[in-house]
Amino acid sequence: MQINIVCFSQTGNTRKVGKAMGEVFKAAGHAVRNIGFNKLIHEDFSSADLIGLGAPSFESQAPTPVREFLKDLPLLNGKKAFVFSTSGGGPGRVLYDLSKPLMIRGADVIGGFLCRGTCFHPVPCLVNRFPNRPDSRDLSRARSFAKSVLVHLSSGIPGALADSRPDAFKHGLGFYNIIGAILKDPLVRFLMPKPKADPQKCTECKWCVHECPTHSLTLNPKPEIAKTCIRCYRCMTGCPENALSVRWGISNFMVWTLYNTTFERWLGDIKPGEKLY
Ligand SMILES: Cc1cc2nc3c(=O)[nH]c(=O)nc-3n(C[C@H](O)[C@H](O)[C@H](O)COP(=O)(O)O)c2cc1C
């Protein structure tokens, strides 16, 4: 079987999960391609017998570039697929955002997997949430999930995997699902500050230009950020010269009101005893 594992991953967490799953498929004798989003073409979906689609949760939903890309998928009639994600807080509707476009194009989505990933969002109230995740236990769960995908496919039993996340198939009505439905790009742009470049520090290396997932950054001659910025702060957190910064002001408080530990425990999917820090 040709298995294409397609993954958007800014800081490597979701990629690790996809790789762990890919190793299981390879060990079982299948041809596996792990494809990053920057190299992805729509044919990577149509040419596979089994598609694995992964992305992190951003603002309790799938990142904008992923949602945009999935709008133009080719027909996938009857093709098997699964989705996976990592999250540093309320994952909200991310798995549903990944599986719904596949289902609309006719794919048979059999399951969804989710685990924690260290949060690299630079807003002070979230820094270093879930350190060192996904850890060996998360990756071993990812491998077990991949094994059950193979068992399920070889059994020929129709329907979903027994150990799949149910939120891969339907949009829940939980607090973070609703947050994910409300926090669309214009509102995020309004609420969250835009990074600013320090011309003294910027060496015009273009790292940020290449890394920006929405191609919103140009050098003129120093970084300028367009209106299409989705506030993922990748330019800022990864800049080799530390040349971009943000004044958080009240945004830190606003993020905290939505993604604080108490709300996450009451209204999110944090299990009793699970540590955030
Ligand atoms: C811009 C941004 C927004 C995020 N929003 C959320 C969120 O709403 N809910 C959540 O669970 N995690 C959120 N996270 C945390 C990521 O989902 C988590 O760190 C994930 O593991 C990152 O995966 P990656 O390394 O594959 O990019 C956010 C991270 C960033 C950078």
Confidence band for 273, pLDDT divided at 50, 70 and 90: confident
Say yes or no to pLDDT of 89 above 90: no
Residue where a domain stops, chosen among 154, 179, 204 = 179
Q: Relative to the CA of 9, which ligand 1 atom is closest?
A: 26
User: Does 47 lie in the same domain as 12?
Assistant: yes
Confidence band for 30, pLDDT divided at 50, 70 and 90: very high
Query: Rounded to whole angstroms, how far apart are CA atoms 129 and 118?
Result: 6
Q: What is the Cα 244 distance to its own chain's centre?
A: 23
Tell me the CA–centroid distance for residue 234 and ligand 1, in Å. 11
Atom 5 (ligand 1) nearest CA: 58
Give the total number of structural domains in the chain.
2
Query: Rounded to whole angstroms, how far apart are CA atoms 192 and 170?
Result: 29
Query: Rounded to whole angstroms, how far apart are CA atoms 99 and 79?
Result: 13
Say yes or no to pLDDT of 272 above 90: no
| End-to-end alpha carbon distance in the chain | 41
212: domain CATH number is: 3.30.70.20
Q: How does pLDDT run across 91-134, given as a tens digit for each residue?
A: 999 999 999 999 999 999 999 999 999 999 999 999 889 999 99
Tell me the CA–centroid distance for residue 221 and ligand 1, in Å. 30
Tell me the CA–centroid distance for residue 156 and ligand 1, in Å. 35
Q: How does pLDDT run across 201-220, given as a tens digit for each residue?
A: 999 999 999 999 999 999 99
Q: Is the dihedral of CA 64, 66, 68, 71 positive or negative?
A: negative
Share of the chain above pLDDT 70, in %: 100
- According to the model, what pLDDT value does residue 205 have? 96
Residue where a domain stops, chosen among 135, 156, 179 = 179
Strands 80-87 and 108-116: parallel
Tell me the CA–centroid distance for residue 7 and ligand 1, in Å. 14
Confidence band for 158, pLDDT divided at 50, 70 and 90: confident
User: Does 46 lie in the same domain as 155?
Assistant: yes
The partner residues of 225 in beta bridges, in order of sequence, read 217
- According to the model, what pLDDT value does residue 277 have? 87
Q: If you average pLDDT over residues 59-81, what whole number do you get? A: 96
- CB atoms under 10 Å from CB of 186, counted, come to 9
**Structural domain contains residue 237:** yes
User: Does 55 lie in the same domain as 113?
Assistant: yes
What are the CA-CA distances from residue 30 to residues 53, 148, 186 (Å)?
17, 15, 43
Q: Transcribe 157-176 into DSSP letters.
A: --S--TTS-GGGTS---SHH
Domain residue limits at 198: 185-267
Q: If you average pLDDT over residues 228-243, what whole number do you get? A: 97
- According to the model, what pLDDT value does residue 163 have? 87
4 lines ligand 1 (CB under 6 A): no
User: Does 152 lie in the same domain as 227?
Assistant: no
59: domain CATH number is: 3.40.50.360
- According to the model, what pLDDT value does residue 271 have? 87
- According to the model, what pLDDT value does residue 186 have? 97
- According to the model, what pLDDT value does residue 162 have? 87
What mean pLDDT, rounded, does the chain reach?
A: 96
